[in-house]
Amino acid sequence: MNYAKISQVAHYAPSQVVTNDDLAKIMDTSDEWISSRTGIKRRHLSRTESTSDLATKVANQLLKKAKISADALDFIIVATITPDSMMPSTAARVQANIGAHHAFAFDLTAACSGFIFALSMAEKLISSGRYQKGLVIGSETLSKVLDWSDRSTAVLFGDGAGGVLLENSEQQRFLAEHQYTDGSRGDSLTCGRIGLSSPYSEKEAAAPYLTMEGRKIFDFAIRDVAESIKNTIESSGVQVEDIDYLLLHQANIRILDKMAKKIGVAREKLPANMMEYGNTSAASIPILLSECVEKGLIHLDGSQTVLLSGFGGGLTWGALIVTI
Ligand code: ACO
């Protein structure tokens, strides 16, 4: 049998840090409002680096840690809602930047669930037995799709990238997963609409900026996402108390507080880093995973059980449980 395992993790964020107090100088907001509502204190915002630049930094770190050359890679998937361009894909740019001559590469768009969906797809590629090694990266420069005159969204997001090297394994490491989409609720979180504009079409307005009905998304996270996490744990056969950590998309600290209660786990099992990065969409889970490894919470030696869960635009949501 062919199985997949996460063998390396890495993350990168632009060096420019913007605090809540910095934002209060350019819009009608305050550290008090942002911190108490969301837990966010700072975010990293790109001055010059594109989404593919951030992803390339992560890809190079992963190769260095694994001591392998880019030629050894079979595929590269970049989960993003802020690609440099629709074509070439961000993943194709990364493939060129690192010289991964044998890898096919593509982007996957599922907003804040992007990394979970991409990791699930990558696991199937490796389990097929046809591919041995691939990179799965979440990378975002959300700062370029924010409406900086809208304080209700501009304060929430940040730029960054994180990723994993996925390799073949002799043991089963991916224990369970559940993934969902409800397009009928898609209007509550939107970004990057491209309107028709040919001489033969009715003209449609483009809507490049991110819009969000915050309260609806909050309720969706507490209800649907918590339910899906419980379902995933149940179907895995793993007892909830045997899960070492639950790494959830980093949108809001209050969501994590409520989620811990609903799932019935100690709050300490849900690490948080939105205070440092804000919401980085597809990048948030791999950045958190990489930081947990750096801090020695997660050992990458196959001895721990971790649940990963993303939720966001689409609407999309999903969870998977891995031995890591
Ligand atoms: N500073 C000061 N006041 C503000 C700000 C701000 N930055 N933004 C909004 N306000 C005001 C509003 O105008 C409103 O004022 P009013 O009562 O006078 O009208 C008041 O604060 C309350 O606004 P709400 O939107 O009701 O605030 P809420 O408590 O719901 O918090 C928040 C908003 C933080 C967005 C919350 O709803 C949330 O976290 N939602 C979930 C977000 C999420 O999970 N996203 C994940 C997916 S993201 C993705 O997929 C890309």
Residues 79-88 have a mean pLDDT of 98
- Our answer to whether residue 112 is catalytic in this structure is yes
Q: Give tens-digit pLDDT for 218-241.
A: 999 999 999 999 999 999 999 999
Query: Where does a domain end: 153, 170, 187?
Result: 170
Residues 141 and 103 in one domain: yes
Residues 102 and 77 in one domain: yes
- Our answer to whether residue 191 is catalytic in this structure is no
Query: Where does a domain end: 170, 195, 220?
Result: 170
Q: What is the pTM of this model?
A: 0.97
Task: Pick the residue whose CA is nearest to atom 23 on ligand 1.
Answer: 152
- Our answer to whether residue 178 is catalytic in this structure is no
Give the per-residue pLDDT at 203. 87
Listing DSSP states for 209-246 in one string gives S-EE-HHHHHHHIIIIIHHHHHHHHHHHT--GGG--EE
Q: How close is the Cα of 48 to the center of ligand 1, in Å?
A: 29
Q: Give tens-digit pLDDT for 100-113.
A: 999 999 999 999 99
| Confidence band, pLDDT 50/70/90 cuts, at residue 200 | very high
Q: What percent of the chain has pLDDT over 70?
A: 100
173: which strand partners?
none
Residues 119 and 156 in one domain: yes
Give the per-residue pLDDT at 4. 97
Q: How close is the Cα of 188 to the center of ligand 1, in Å?
A: 13
Give the per-residue pLDDT at 247. 98
Burial of 196 (0-12, 13-18, 19+ CB in 10 A): exposed
Q: How close is the Cα of 132 to the center of ligand 1, in Å?
A: 44
Q: How close is the Cα of 186 to the center of ligand 1, in Å?
A: 18
Task: Pick the residue whose CA is nearest to atom 10 on ligand 1.
Answer: 152
Structure tokens, 304: 């721990």
Q: Give tens-digit pLDDT for 251-266.
A: 999 999 999 999 999 9
CA distances from 254 to 10, 228, 230, 306 (A): 26, 18, 19, 21
Residues 155-168 have a mean pLDDT of 98
Q: Give tens-digit pLDDT for 294-317.
A: 999 999 999 999 999 999 999 999
Q: Report the pocket of ligand 1 as residue ranges, CB < 6 Å.
A: 29, 33-34, 37-38, 111-112, 151-152, 155, 189, 214-215, 217-218, 221, 251-252, 255, 279, 281, 312-313
Q: How close is the Cα of 217 to the center of ligand 1, in Å?
A: 10
Residues 259 and 308 in one domain: yes
Residues 248 and 151 in one domain: no
Q: Give tens-digit pLDDT for 5-36.
A: 999 999 999 999 999 999 999 999 999 999 99
Query: Where does a domain end: 170, 198, 229?
Result: 170
Task: Pick the residue whose CA is nearest to atom 39 on ligand 1.
Answer: 252
Residues 174-178 have a mean pLDDT of 97
Closest CA to 279 of 258, 251, 254: 251
Q: Which among 11, 44, 178, 249 is annotated as catalytic?
A: 249
Task: Pick the residue whose CA is nearest to atom 5 on ligand 1.
Answer: 152
Residues 319 and 217 in one domain: yes
Residue range of the domain that includes 277: 175-323
| Confidence band, pLDDT 50/70/90 cuts, at residue 212 | very high
What CATH number does the domain containing 193 carry? 3.40.47.10
Q: Give tens-digit pLDDT for 123-148.
A: 999 999 999 999 999 999 999 999 99
Q: What is the mean pLDDT of the chain?
A: 97
Return the best residue to mutate from 218, 249, 253 for the ligand 1 pocket (most ligand atoms within 8 A of CB): 218
**For the chain, how big is the Rg over CA atoms in Å?**
19
Asked if pLDDT for residue 1 goes beyond 90, the answer is no
Q: What is the 3-state secondary structure (H, E, C) of 93-139?
A: HHHHHHCCCCCEEEEECCHHHHHHHHHHHHHHHHHCCCCCEEEEEEE
Q: Is 316 helix (H, G, I), strand (E, B) or coil?
A: strand
Structure tokens, 142: 């959300």
Tally of structural domains, the chain = 2
Q: In the block, which residue shows the tokens 């721990």?
A: 304
Closest CA to 226 of 200, 268, 260, 196: 260
Burial of 297 (0-12, 13-18, 19+ CB in 10 A): middle
Which ligand 1 atom is at minimum distance from the Cα of 281? 51
Q: How close is the Cα of 38 to the center of ligand 1, in Å?
A: 8
Task: Pick the residue whose CA is nearest to atom 4 on ligand 1.
Answer: 152
